[in-house]
Amino acid sequence: MGHEIERREALKCMAWAGTGALYALSGGIARSAILDGAGTGAAPAAGFTFLQLSDSHIGFDKAANPDARATYREAIAKVKALAVKPDFIIHTGDITQLSRDNEFDDADQILRETGIPAFFVPGEHDMVDEGGGKAFLTRHGKGSKGAGWFSFDHQGVHFVGLVNVADLKPGGMGNLGAAQLAWLKADLAGRGASTPIVVFAHIPLWTVYEQWGWGTGDAQAALALLKRFGSVTILNGHIHQIVQKVEGRMTFHTARSTAFPQPAPGTAPSPGPQVVPPGQLRSVLGITDVTLRRGDQRIALIDSTLA
C-alpha cells in the first residue's frame, strides 16, 4: 500500500533533529517537512497558528528546577518573539504545582503578557485544592462542562479540550469517564468527516508507558468516536518530553514542559522531576507551535526549546 510506505517514510523523517521536530499531516498522511529550529518561519498563506504550552508547574522549586516561574517567563518570552502571532494558546495542564491561588495567579499574570487568548485543560496538579478542582474551574472553567471539558471552532477546525485527570480509579491510569464520553459523542455528532479535529488533554490519550500510568484507561472509547474524521491531531502533556506517533488518520504528540524534564519511559525507577547537568535544563524545556494550512488539512508542529 503506497500510503503505508509513505507513512513509514514519514515516521523516519520525524526523528528529532536540532532543536525541533516538525511534521505535517495532509489528508491523514503524515509527511516529512523541513525543520525550523527557531520555530518562527512557518507562516501559512491561508491558515493560522496556535501554540501549545504544557506543564508549567508554577510553584515547583525543587532540584530539577529551583524556579519554574522563571522558565515559564522564558517560554512566554519565546511566544512573544514568534514572527507569526498565534491566534490562541492552549495549555495542556499542570499549570500549577499544588493548585494554590498564588500559583494560579502568577501563571495567569505571566501568560497575560502575551496578550493572546488562552484555553486550558487541567492536569492532576491543578486538581489538588480542597475543592478538588474548584480553583481551576473558577479561573478557567467558564463555559466548560463537568471537570472542565469543552469544545470550540476556529476557522473551520474543531477543537476539543478533554479532562482525564478527574476521579482517577485505584490501579488505573488517566480517566475520561462515561459522562465526558457521552458529551464527546454528542459534540462530534453531525460534524462532517472532513472537519479537521484537534483534541487536547493533559495525560496522553494513548498508552505511552503503562507501568508509569502514562496513558488513559478509556481513551479507546474516545478514539473510536474520532476515527471517522479525516484529520485528527491529539496534543497532550504530562510526560514532559516529546513522543509522537501516527496511527491511521490520527497524529499523537506530547509537548515538553516549561518546568522540568522527566525520564524517558523505563529508563529510571519511576517518573518524576529529572535533574539534568547544570546548563542543560533549558535544552529540555520548550513550547510547541502548531500551524494549520487551510484546504489541505495539513498540520505542522514545531517544538522549540528554551535554550
Partner 1 sequence: MHSRLMIAVLIPVAAVTTSLASGRAHPPVAASARGKTLSARPAAPTAAAGPVAVHISNFTFGPKMVTVKVGQTVTWTNDDDIPHTVVATDKSFRSKVLDTGQSFSFTFTKPGQVAYFCSLHPMMTGKVTVAAR
Site string for partner 1, 92-111 (x = CB under 8 A): -----xxx------------
Please state the closest distance from residue 223 (CB atom) to partner 1, in A. Answer: 21
Q: Does 265 bind partner 1 (CB under 8 A)?
A: no
Site size with partner 1, rule: CB under 8 A: 26
Please state the closest distance from residue 167 (CB atom) to partner 1, in A. Answer: 9
Please state the closest distance from residue 269 (CB atom) to partner 1, in A. Answer: 5
Whole-number Å distance between alpha carbons of 218 and 207: 10
Give the one residue of 169, 185, 227, 228 binding partner 1; rule: CB under 8 A.
169
Whole-number Å distance between alpha carbons of 81 and 85: 8
With contacts defined by CB under 8 A, name the span among 40-48, 134-142, 206-214, 288-296 that binds partner 1. Answer: 206-214
Please state the closest distance from residue 10 (CB atom) to partner 1, in A. Answer: 33
**Closer Cβ to partner 1, 64 or 162, answer by number:** 64
Write b or e for each residue in 221-238: b if 16 or more Cβ atoms lie within 10 A of its Cβ, otherwise e: bbbebbeebebbbbbbbb
Angle (CA) 205 208 210, round 5°: 100
With contacts defined by CB under 8 A, name the span among 37-45, 136-144, 267-275, 286-294 that binds partner 1. Answer: 267-275
With contacts defined by CB under 8 A, name the span among 16-24, 76-84, 162-170, 281-289 that binds partner 1. Answer: 162-170
Please state the closest distance from residue 273 (CB atom) to partner 1, in A. Answer: 5
Q: Which residues contact 37 (CB under 8 A, 6 or more apart)?
A: 18, 19, 20, 304
Site string for partner 1, 4-43 (x = CB under 8 A): ----------------------------------------
Whole-number Å distance between alpha carbons of 89 and 258: 14
**Closer Cβ to partner 1, 48 or 260, answer by number:** 260
Q: Does 62 bind partner 1 (CB under 8 A)?
A: yes
Please state the closest distance from residue 25 (CB atom) to partner 1, in A. Answer: 32
Please state the closest distance from residue 140 (CB atom) to partner 1, in A. Answer: 19
Give the one residue of 269, 277, 278, 295 binding partner 1; rule: CB under 8 A.
269
Q: Does 146 bind partner 1 (CB under 8 A)?
A: no
Whole-number Å distance between alpha carbons of 301 and 236: 13
Q: Does 213 bind partner 1 (CB under 8 A)?
A: yes
- Residues 124-143 binding partner 1 (CB under 8 A) are 124-125, 127-128, 130
Q: Does 170 bind partner 1 (CB under 8 A)?
A: yes
> Quick one: angle between helices 178-188 and 219-226, nearest 10?
10
Closest CA to 247 of 203, 205, 284: 205
- Contact status, residue 277 vs residue 270, Cβ threshold 8 Å: no
Query: Phi and psi of 284, rounded to 5°?
Result: -115, 10
**Closer Cβ to partner 1, 4 or 130, answer by number:** 130
Q: Is 253 exposed, middle or buried (0-12, 13-18, 19+ CB in 10 A)?
A: buried
The SS3 of residue 198 is strand
Q: Does 231 bind partner 1 (CB under 8 A)?
A: no
Q: Which residues contact 213 (CB under 8 A, 6 or more apart)?
A: 172, 173, 174, 203, 271
Give the one residue of 211, 267, 277, 295 binding partner 1; rule: CB under 8 A.
211
Which cell goes with 115?
A: 496578550
Which cell goes with 241?
A: 518530553
